[in-house]
Copies of this chain bind each other. A is one copy, B any other.
Amino acid sequence: MTRHERMLGALTGQPVDRTPVWFMRQAGRYLPEYMEVRSRVSFLDLCHDPDLAVLVTLQPLDRFDLDAAIIFSDILTIPEAMGQEVQFIKGRGPVLPKPIRSRDDVRALKQPDVADALPVVPESLRRFIKARPDTPILGFAGAPWTLFCYMVEGSGSKNWENAKKMLWTDPEASQELLNRLADMVGDYLQTQVDAGALAVQMFDTWAGALSQEDFKRWALPAAQRALSRVKGAPRLYFTKDSSPFLHLLKSTGADAVGLDWRVDIPMAREILGDMPIQGNLDPIALYAPPEEVARRTRAILKQAGPVGHVFNLGHGVTPNTPIEGVHAMVEAVRSYRHDEA
């Protein structure tokens, strides 16, 4: 089987020769060669230059025999394209100095044509495919609610007080912003499919800030609206807090769901039925001795079974992760045979 067949098979619940593997933030700070590039160019420059984006997207493929890459970018390119300034400040994460706090702020945002306003990732995808035709490439975007969080809060947050206050105090303007984001996100993911992405993943990292009621009222319909605009490739939905919402994830309209590292896979299978899953090794498990990483990797493979599973971490790889832990994980997936387990 080619990598393309393996990834597409796993994402659509078809039999595959072995479980495919890639991992979130695989092009990132745990790689010395990435840090070398970052010593010369800023994070935003990386996001804005297709040559640099492809360069770092390729880096983990030269170290590990992975079944897919994910194009290097950041979810906050959408707020930028809508006219909101985004800064990346070392040690503080993203800062949006003029947060959206009112209906007028929402109205002042642009709603550009995505193909014009966000050309970098589609172009990077095309260049990646030329450079590495044997490896499938995934596209991605932030989910509308998660983008709403950053745009209204103005930065990362523990409690997202301002984002939630806007929901409570101006539900109409909040809905307007979520609708506009959903359309941007959906169209953006479609441009990535059109540029050759094998699949696309929508990151709803902060859905887990919401109660059941608010997830159902705000994050879920916006996710549905975004994903419904995307045709022609499997659509993955990921949130960092999957467990509270497992029974609702099918109704996102996604073809497959990424599970965080706390999720009990048998319980997820019971609730999700034959919906393909992705995940879910604890990223910090990669700090364990290699044989322990391999044991944990095999335990997840066994629980998930041979069909409808893409192996991944349960969240992004962290900057201090030892390379040998990543090697142990990738090799354990590649050498695992379900029929011998």
- Taking Cβ atoms with an 8 Å cutoff, the residues of A that contact B are 159-161, 164-165, 168-169, 208, 210-215, 241, 243-245, 247, 261-265, 267, 280, 282-285, 287-289, 292, 296, 299, 314, 318, 320
Contacts and interface: CB of A to CB of B under 8 A. Distances in A.
Nearest to A162: B287
A197 B213 CA distance: 34
How many copies of the shown chain assemble into the complex? Answer: 2
A24 to B, nearest CB: 14
Contact of A159 (B164, B247, B264, B283): B283
A285 B211 contact: yes
The listed residue with most B CB atoms (<10 A of its CB), out of A265, A284, A289, is A284
A149 B172 CA distance: 42
A215 to B, nearest CB: 8
Contacts of A283: 159
B284 A160 contact: yes
A208 B262 contact: yes
B287 A212 contact: no
A262 B282 contact: no
A161 B289 contact: no
A209 to B, nearest CB: 8
The listed residue with most B CB atoms (<10 A of its CB), out of A161, A212, A285, A299, is A212
Contacts of A282: 164, 210-211, 214
A71 to B, nearest CB: 25
10 contacts: A161-B287, A161-B320, A164-B282, A168-B292, A210-B262, A212-B265, A213-B299, A241-B241, A241-B262, A244-B264
B247 A318 contact: no
A213 B263 CA distance: 10
A320 B167 CA distance: 17
Q: Which are the 3 A-B pairs with shortest beta-carbon distances?
A: A168-B288, A243-B243, A244-B262
